[in-house]
Structure 1
Amino acid sequence: MIDVPVLVVGGGPAGMSMSLLLDRFGIPNMLAEKRPSTTTHPKARGCTARTMEQFRVWGIEERVRKAALPQESDVACWCESLNGPLVAYTQPAPVQNTPAPRSIVPQDAVEEALADELATRPGVALRRRTEFLSLAQDAEVVTARLRDLDTGELLEVRARYLVGCDGANSRVRDAVGIEMEGPPTLALMANHYYRADVGHLPHVRSAIGFLVRPRDRSRPDVNVLATGPRGDRWLAVQKLRDGEEPMSEEDLIAFVREIWEIPDLPVQRINVMNWHMSAQVAQRFRCGRVFLAGDAAHRFPTAGGNGLNSGVQDVHNLAWKIAAVLSGHAAVSLVDTYEPERRPVAVSNTEFAVRNQGRMDEMDEAFRRRDEDPETWRRLLVDQDNQLHSDGQAMGYVYRSAAVVDDGSPLPPHDSRRYWPADRPGARFPHLWLDVDRTETTIDWFDTTFVLVCGPDADEWESTGTRLAGAGAPLRVRRLPHLLGPLTIRRDGAVLVRPDGHVAWQAPGAGAEAQLAVALDQVLAHVPDAASVAPSEARGVEA
């Protein structure tokens, strides 16, 4: 029997992020992944600004960006051939409200960066080629059965919590009997990952993807997506018609040469992946001491790029809560807030992705009829900005749960395209540059502990926060040098920000020490779990 505070099943972006976060909080954990290495297929292609902000705090942002397309490539192009004419480009999204803009980077590069960072973490027991078989749980622990795929050895792991990040066909989800809601198949797709060096052509880095839509309907519609900055690795995404088989390697080579109009172009297929486009959300994100995150909890159409990103945000929300409970800073009931905070976001992201897929389907048809109806396709091209410009969807959600002390102030309008910064409870605390050289931002403050953000003249709140931190509260105090951002607190006010960067409580002006203590108690419940991890097992939420 192996004992560990947390077992994470599934070593994709969500699982590795969960394991890394737990280690940052000082919580030892085991990560079990059945694959022998990180993915060899660029399933997702793009990290939102919110995800890149977290990578910045974790110290891996630059490693991820090195594998990305240039920032100006964040557009889509409709064409009939990749050798022109390139008929229509969308507009690049504005970059604001973040120190870490969206990055057009393939999932394989993201996984490599996370794996490199995990390798430096002594608190992570990473077991590759290890398969999850089953679990049983009671009020205190989860016991999972695993199998080493190299030796066949059966392992029993006993953990306080188990987090299932094991993908769309989650065995963990099946083991706890959680059903999915929504259509399991909107379309059948085939991803053809191939190598073809066309980096010498001037337009290959001009878009995240080229949507090849031949006028001849007998030829396939294929999205050709760049997967790296060198112009030598590509993903051809084929939508399969009823009864249609994916292109063979021979057909793929012929197709690639045809659409690039280079008859002798060397083409090598790396691998192919068939998949179902779905629009599903798990009915529940938790069963007892077992949680679901990432694709195990939700499956979206790819339009809008929210799959990988939603998984990272799931575990960013969950990790600090589990860490606070296991370190004795919070009651067990804190983890009850995971589902009410994250499931509504997953539902919203699903609806957003379905709308986006409809936009693309409508645009495809209008593109083919552009000569006879140019106004429609131009209007629909402009409308694509409502899919590709999505800072509001990525950063604008406002959590409402017992882990937020709601003050009744108006909610910022939900706008998937535009992000409206706010310092009200439940919202992401806004990004503000703190120095002239723009090297430090408020986003950098939020990592492994609560932060009391004080206004420039909030001497009383600064003293109060310092006293509470000195008495053992999981709290740091930071003072804003100015109020130049979209904040509603006054110069003598303060906000309490959670480790995930979302506001837990707000004091618009000066107040009494008891207010902050009560707010922290309300968020954490401040009733230690009777079976909390011993100090030798966990460093806890950093104070």
Structure 2
Amino acid sequence: MKQDSTQVLIVGGGITGLTAALFLAQQGVNFILIEKHKGTSIHPRARTIDIRTMELFRGLGLSEELREGGKALAPAWGILRGINLVETLNTTKSDIIGNANFPKQFAAMKALGEKSPESVCRCTQDISEAIIYQKAKHHDLRFNHQLLTFQQDENSVAAVVKNRETEEIYTIQANYMIAADGANSMIRKQLEIPLAGHGAWMDLLNIYFEADLSTLVRGREFSQFLIETSEITGFLLAINNADRWTFHLRYDPEKGEVPVDEILRKVIGIPDLKMSILSILPWQLTVRISTQLRVNKIFIAGDAAHTMTPYAGKGANAGIQDVQNLAWKLAAVLKHQAGDALLDTYHTERQPVGAFYANLSGEMADKNGLIDESKMMQYGEKLLGLPDYAYDSTAVVRPSQLFRGEPGTCIPHMWLEDGSSSLDWVKGQFVLIANGHFEYWRAASKLSHIQVKLVELPANEPWMTLTQATPTDAILIRPDDFVAARLNALHPCEQLAKTIKKICSLRNI
């Protein structure tokens, strides 16, 4: 049997697996990605890329391309209810449709615009995955290759893989494996990882269809249309505000086939509407949370780690943020710059975040399985995506006094004179931001066992005000944009070296 070897095996070529590939490539890590399907998603699925995730795509050089890819969906905001779409649009003033149920979110987006160089992007997953794939395709991506079995020991993971096109079976030996194989993860199940959360409680059909409604919705675009009648319960989602839509129908699978065309015409309110069904996917309203994200050499990410309802808009976003957190840590260990305990901080930092959003997504579903608009209004800023949490692990050095720019929080955004953002300093590397005493920090950064980029900000009052820093301070940023520690110019070489070794779980400090 043929055997390939690599540093990291990624199982799953969806949005989480593909972005894991890009983050590992950014870190110079060798990997192989396998995906059982022939290509990327042909179904829209996730439609919103939150602010934090757009910051990550900015670091990969993809934010503008994703925004362009989703421009047709960009005007679609607001949630409407009614007995059919035509009647609801004709009885709702067009100037308030976009604001329906969203005034708090719009206010929050305006406020968040000052805290980030990016904003929320509307882009469906079939488009976003295709864009990410194009960026990653020159790496070793093996679509139509399926994981059959795997086993691990204290040194590596051995996976048996089938090439579904040629029927060839071969093995891949890897130092580590990332399980990004979705909500029904075979890897998670085989590892027998305990699950928390509500579980599954409702069956729906995701009906992707084509129908020209451009004239009907032009100038009064919406995000969701909810319908609850004696016959039909479900929600219609805009995909391109013209001829692509999805309808999620609550149904009972024990009752057999559903008259899809008839139902869709009633939902729209046009009895003779011409349409074409593109695909139908059954799914369940589900909240499942992995209680472990690491089992020896294997790491669980994305939907495999935290399956959630679509109502918080966090499923794909949480997965992307998972693998960005993990990639630099794997790189540091593989390059012998960090100890194995650094990898434990992946679970410590990301599991509570995924669990929070998964539970929140379940809370946002009403008794009939539709989104609860009052919860949408209540959570406002939390749904838009700037982290309102701080990591607390051995991979940050936290002071007793907490303030903006504190260790464990994301680097604050500040516009720079050249039009870039302070986030653009990072791009997957350690960064030390100094306010003065530059000759000391230059010497310290050169002596570090890990390459550290030094950013010199001489007497930059906006930055010092933003971070409550002094001219003797320096802020150390991790490769995932989170503040690792705050240092001062007293014994800078010793202090920086000791801090990085502690963050990287090296024992000889």
Contact 2:237 2:247 in 1 (8 A): yes
**Partner Cα distance (1:385, 1:465) in 2:** 48
Find the counterpart in structure 2 of residue 541 from structure 1.
none
- Look up the match of 1:313: 321
Q: 1:280 to 1:204 in 2, by over 3 A?
A: farther
| Aligned equivalents of 2:231, 2:20: Cα separation in 1 | 43
Number of equivalenced pairs: 486
SS in 2 for 1:183: strand
Answer yes or no: is the 8 Å Cα contact 2:364–2:375 preserved in 1.
no
Partners of 2:49 and 2:317 within 8 A in 1: yes
Please state if 1:459 is matched with 2:437: yes
Is 126-135 or 252-261 further displaced after alignment?
Answer: 252-261
Contact 2:207 2:279 (C-alpha < 8 Å) held by counterparts: yes
Q: Provide the C-alpha distance between the structure 1 equivalents of 2:276 and 2:380, rounded to a whole number of angstroms.
A: 30
Q: How many angstroms apart in 1 are the aligned matches of 2:353 and 2:257? A: 34
How far apart in 2 are the matches of 1:84 and 1:493? 62
Alignment-derived partner of residue 66 in structure 2? 64
Aligned residue identity for 2:67: R
Q: Does 1:473 align with 2:450?
A: yes
2:128 corresponds to:
110
8 Å CA contact 2:288–2:308 kept in 1: the answer is yes
- Match of 1:384, SS? helix
Task: Identify the residue that residue 409 of structure 2 maps to in structure 1.
Answer: 427
SS for the counterpart of 1:390 is: helix
C-alpha change, 1:406 and 1:276, in structure 2 (3 Å) is: same
RMSD in angstroms over aligned alpha carbons? 2.4
Counterpart in 2 of 1:348?
Answer: 356
**Residues 493 and 433 (structure 1 numbering): CA distance in 2 closer, same or farther, change over 3 Å?**
same
Counterpart in the other structure of 1:218: 230
1:261, CA displacement in angstroms? 3.0
Counterpart contact for 1:304–1:387, Cα < 8 Å: no
Task: Say whether residues 1:395 and 2:387 are aligned partners.
Answer: yes
Q: Deviations over 1:157-189 (max 9, x none)?
A: 100001100001111112222232223212111
How far has the Cα of 1:13 moved from its partner?
0.7
The equivalent of 1:182 in structure 2 is 197
Match among 66, 75, 90 for residue 101 of structure 2: 90
Work out whether residues 190 and 246 of structure 1, in 8 Å CA contact, stay in contact via their aligned partners in 2.
no
Tell me, yes or no, if the aligned pair for 1:135 and 1:175 is still in contact at 8 Å: no
Separation in 1, partners of 2:497, 2:422: 23
Q: Corresponding residue for 1:290? A: 298
- Residues 416-459 of structure 1: CA deviation (Å, up to 9, x unaligned): xxxxxx31110111111112x7x30011122221001223xx22
Corresponding residue number in structure 1 for 2:339: 331
Which aligned pairs between 1:438-457 and structure 2 lie closer than 5 A?
A: 439-455=419-435
Shift of 1:502: 0.5
With normalisation by structure 1, the TM-score equals: 0.84
The change in CA–CA distance for 1:359 and 1:275 in structure 2 (over 3 A counts) is closer
**Which whole-Å deviations, capped at 9, do the CAs of 1:15-57 have from their partners, x for residues lacking one?**
0111111111111100000000001111211111111111111
Q: Distance in 1 between matches of 2:442 and 2:378?
A: 42
In the TM superposition, what is the alpha-carbon distance from 1:138 to its structure 2 partner? 1.4
| Structure 1 residue aligned with 2:490 | 511
2:452 is matched by which residue type in structure 1? L
Task: Note the alpha carbon deviations across 1:475-511, whole angstroms, 9 max, x for none.
Answer: 101134442563222243221110000011013x543
Structure 1 361/270 Cα, relative in aligned 2: closer, same or farther at 3 Å?
closer
Is the contact between residue 24 and residue 327 of structure 2 (CA under 8 Å) also seen in structure 1? yes
**Which residue in 2 is equivalent to 1:235?**
246
User: Partners in 1 of 2:261 and 2:374 — Cα distance?
Assistant: 33
Does 2:81 correspond to 1:78?
yes
What is the SS of the residue equivalent to 2:469?
A: coil
In the alignment, structure 1 residue 499 sits paired with structure 2 residue 476: no
**Matched residue of 2:280: which SS?**
strand
Instruction: Work out the CA distance in 1 between the residues paired with 2:119 and 2:368.
Output: 24
What SS does the aligned partner of 1:185 have?
strand
Contact 1:450 1:497 in 2 (8 A): yes
Deviations along 1:65-124, whole A, 9 cap, x unmatched? 1232454533322233211334571124323222111112111111101100012x4xx2
Q: CA deviation at 1:406?
A: 1.4
Deviation string 1:390-422 (CA, Å, 9 cap, x unpaired) is: 257651121111101111234x8xxxxxxxxx3
The DSSP-based 3-state class of the residue aligned with 1:50 is: helix
Q: Distance in 2 between matches of 1:144 and 1:382?
A: 47
Deviations 1:124-179 (A, max 9, x none): 21111111111111111111111111121111110000110000111111222223
Question: Structure 1 residue 201: deviation in Å?
Answer: 2.8
Percent of aligned positions with the same letter in both sequences?
A: 28
Q: In the alignment, what sits opposite 1:9?
A: 11
Aligned residue in 2 for 1:36:
38
* C-alpha contact (below 8 Å) 1:403/1:504 kept by paired residues: yes
Amino acid at match of 1:349: Y
Q: Is 1:169 matched up with 2:184?
A: yes
Structure 2 CA distance for aligned equivalents of residues 47 and 307 of structure 1: 10
Check if 1:490 corresponds to 2:470: yes
CA distance in 2, matches of 1:382, 1:166: 33
Could you tell me which runs of 5 or more consecutive residues in structure 1 were left unpaired when the two chains were aligned: 365-380, 413-421, 529-543
Q: In 2 relative to 1, CA 323–310 (structure 1 residues): closer, same or farther, beyond 3 Å?
A: same
Aligned-pair CA distance for 1:279: 1.1
Residues 465 and 476, structure 1, Cα contact 8 Å, conserved in 2: no
Q: Return the offset for 1:263.
A: 3.4
CA distance in 2, matches of 1:272, 1:297: 25
Shift in CA distance, 5/361, structure 1 to aligned 2, threshold 3 Å = closer
Rounded Cα–Cα distance in structure 1 between residues aligned with 2:257 and 2:126: 22
Q: Output the amino acid matched with 1:233.
A: R
- 1:207 and 2:222 aligned: yes
Task: Specify which of 129, 142, 156 is matched with residue 157 of structure 2.
Answer: 142
- State the TM-score, normalized to the length of structure 2: 0.89
Instruction: Check 1:430–1:60 CA distance in 2 against 1; reply closer, same or farther (3 A cut).
Output: same
The structure-2 alpha-carbon separation of the partners of 1:478 and 1:259, relative to structure 1 and needing over 3 Å to count, comes to same
Q: 1:219 to 1:493 in 2, by over 3 A?
A: same
What is the SS of the residue equivalent to 2:171? strand
Residues 204, 302 of structure 1: alpha-carbon distance in 2 compared, 3 angstrom cutoff: farther
- Match of 1:11, as an amino acid? G
- The 1:333–1:188 alpha-carbon spacing in structure 2 relative to 1, beyond 3 Å, is same
Is 2:400 the counterpart of 1:408? yes
Q: Which runs of 5+ in 2 are unaligned?
A: none
